[in-house]
Structure 1
Amino acid sequence: MKIEDYSLNISDHQFKVKGYWLDQVDDFGRTVDYPVVVICPGGGFTFHSEREEEPLALRFSSFAMHVVVLEYNLIGKNPVYPTALEEMAKTVDWLSKLPESMHIDKSKIILAGFSAGGHLVAAYNGIATNPTLRKKYQIDRYNGQHAAIILGYPVTDMTVKGSFPDDDKILQQISLDKSLWKTQDLLNKNSKPAFIWLTRTDELVNVTNSLTYADKMAQLGIPVELHMYGSGIHGLALATYVTKKPGKNKYLNQRAAGWIDLVMSWLEMMDLVL
């Protein structure tokens, strides 16, 4: 495996991505083009959780997938959006233009978002598949398209009371554009299939987020699979010792740790694995 850092350019600044590239295997007797997962970690739009970066990247890599971690725009002098959308569009465009020597199956670009990163992926799934919205948010200049999305305990509706962000000031720092607050309203019949997982007892992001998003997809006839585990805290990541915070066993959840195997089974069903 090769691990490389990159700086990509959009209209007004640079942002970083990290690639985890699988090597070719001589024993296969031929070259192989692998699917690629773009990970958007959580962190409440104030930081990028490292627990949802390399540990997840290595796990996905073990299933024969390239991985790219996107360090998307955070709360700062300007709102997170629409810049984060352009960063995602640029990342997909960049992947679609990489040389054949990178051995990427460009028809199998999968976006995976966790917590706040899930909001970016959920929003992009509606905007990038709608020509009018692509133009509105100025991402129509970018090429490439994703094939599916994975959402882990995602923020999809920022207007749900008692759920993140539940603070008007923070909400404005994330986006001044109210049409981005409810990602389910951005979905259309061309949006891509989704796998969603969460825990019923999530103390930070109300389950209404995932349920509403999945329901809208079902109404539109878009393939969606949703798994809600009966218990577990927010931010489980892999829910194993790899992503457990020291001394905090609440980050271990044997049942929820099975989510990634279910994801891979779903991707196989959707013909999106090797």
Structure 2
Amino acid sequence: METMNLPLGARLWIADAPKDPKGMILICPGGGYQWLSPREAQPVAHAFAAAGWAAAVVYYTVREKPGQPPLGTLPVRQLGEALQTMQQRFPALSALVCGFSAGGHLAASLGVHWRELGLPRPDGMILGYPVITAGKYAHRGSIENLTGADDPAWFSLEKQVTADTPPVFFWHTVTDPEVPVQNSLLLADALSTAGVRYEMHLYPRGVHGLSLATPEVDEPEKHRVADPHIAGWFGQCLEWLDILKTTKE
């Protein structure tokens, strides 16, 4: 394991890489752009590493107090820098981004805005219950921490998808009370319209923030308990990754 401080202010935690990794995955934990969830960070990296993938966690800048300036594009530029750093370390490997909740918004932001910002394009995106829209179904706290009172349209990612957006695997619970499932539905519609390949899984019940949905990330006081059915997302994701490696876009 290794930790690196990057020039734009993010910290990169790199898990021990397996021998001959299949590719690399950068993980963005959620937390409403206000804090970073440990349950969506290193446990996820360890799971991908155990499955044969090089994995790292990006501890990006957050807005801890409302009085602080909004974050703007800093987190996505930090993620782009982290991706470039990992590409230099593993130049022959495919490079994907993975994020949960607001971290899903961050990962998807790189996926839709990479060209405009002059950042490296990820080869794929893995999103768990992602914040996507700045519209009717927005997670307001996340959007406000990015934009303050400014026009949030640039951060409404369903409006930014193009044919250059990388393939996506994503999942959501239909009963998510914090980030409505409509975020994923809007993303699916935008991806379909743009002709971008994706795989989406919707689970009928479950609270927000389930992470791997395994016993190691249980948080019973918030009703986040292991659920074997929802935990299946990880195995389905690994299958999707294998297909992605053998199929051209």
Find the counterpart in structure 2 of residue 27 from structure 1: none
- Matched residue type, 2:131: V
Deviation at 1:252, TM superposition (A): 2.0
Q: Is 1:108 matched up with 2:82?
A: no
Q: Is 1:243 matched up with 2:217?
A: yes
Find the counterpart in structure 2 of residue 44 from structure 1: 32
- CA deviations on 1:89-138 (whole Å, 9 max, x unpaired) are 1111112222xxxxx3544101001001011111211111x3xx22xxxx
- Matched residue type, 1:204: E
Q: Is 1:219 matched up with 2:193?
A: yes
Structure 2 residue runs without a partner (length 5+): none
Deviation at 1:153, TM superposition (A): 0.4
Deviation at 1:187, TM superposition (A): 1.1
- Matched residue type, 2:123: A
Residues 33, 59 of structure 1: alpha-carbon distance in 2 compared, 3 angstrom cutoff: closer
Among residues 42, 54, 68, which one is paired with 2:42 in the alignment? 54
Find the counterpart in structure 2 of residue 257 from structure 1: 231
Aligned residue pair count:
242
Deviation at 1:33, TM superposition (A): 4.8
The structure with more radius of gyration: 1
Residue identity over aligned pairs, in percent, reads 26
Q: How does 1:106-255 map to 2 (within 5 A)?
A: 106-128=92-114, 130=115, 133-134=116-117, 140=118, 142=119, 144-161=120-137, 163-165=138-140, 171-175=143-147, 176-246=150-220, 250-255=224-229
Residue aligned with 2:208, SS: coil
Please give the alpha-carbon distance, in whole angstroms, between the structure 2 residues aligned to 1:149 and 1:44.
19
Contact kept, 8 Å, 2:171 with 2:202, in 1: the verdict is: yes
Residue aligned with 2:228, SS: coil
Stretch moving more, 54-63 or 74-83: 74-83
TM-score, normalising length: structure 1: 0.82
Deviation at 1:249, TM superposition (A): 5.3
Please give the alpha-carbon distance, in whole angstroms, between the structure 2 residues aligned to 1:265 and 1:160.
33
Deviation at 1:247, TM superposition (A): 5.4
Contact kept, 8 Å, 1:95 with 1:106, in 2: the verdict is: no
Contact kept, 8 Å, 1:199 with 1:232, in 2: the verdict is: yes
Residue aligned with 1:227, SS: strand
- Matched residue type, 1:253: D
- CA deviations on 1:44-63 (whole Å, 9 max, x unpaired) are 11111000111111111111
Please give the alpha-carbon distance, in whole angstroms, between the structure 2 residues aligned to 1:105 and 1:248.
41
- CA deviations on 1:161-220 (whole Å, 9 max, x unpaired) are 4x522x6xx643322352333101111111100001010110101111001101111111
Find the counterpart in structure 2 of residue 65 from structure 1: 53
Structure 1 residue runs without a partner (length 5+): 25-31, 99-103, 135-139
The structure where helix makes up a greater share of residues is 2
Find the counterpart in structure 2 of residue 101 from structure 1: none
Find the counterpart in structure 2 of residue 95 from structure 1: 86
Please give the alpha-carbon distance, in whole angstroms, between the structure 1 residues aligned to 2:94 and 2:7.
23
Deviation at 1:250, TM superposition (A): 4.1
Find the counterpart in structure 1 of residue 63 from structure 2: 75
Please give the alpha-carbon distance, in whole angstroms, between the structure 1 residues aligned to 2:184 and 2:93.
26
Residue aligned with 1:255, SS: helix
Deviation at 1:79, TM superposition (A): 1.4
Please give the alpha-carbon distance, in whole angstroms, between the structure 2 residues aligned to 1:105 and 1:62.
21
Residue aligned with 1:271, SS: helix
Please give the alpha-carbon distance, in whole angstroms, between the structure 1 residues aligned to 2:6 and 2:197.
32
Find the counterpart in structure 2 of residue 137 from structure 1: none
Q: Give the superposed CA RMSD.
A: 2.0
Please give the alpha-carbon distance, in whole angstroms, between the structure 1 residues aligned to 2:153 and 2:139.
17
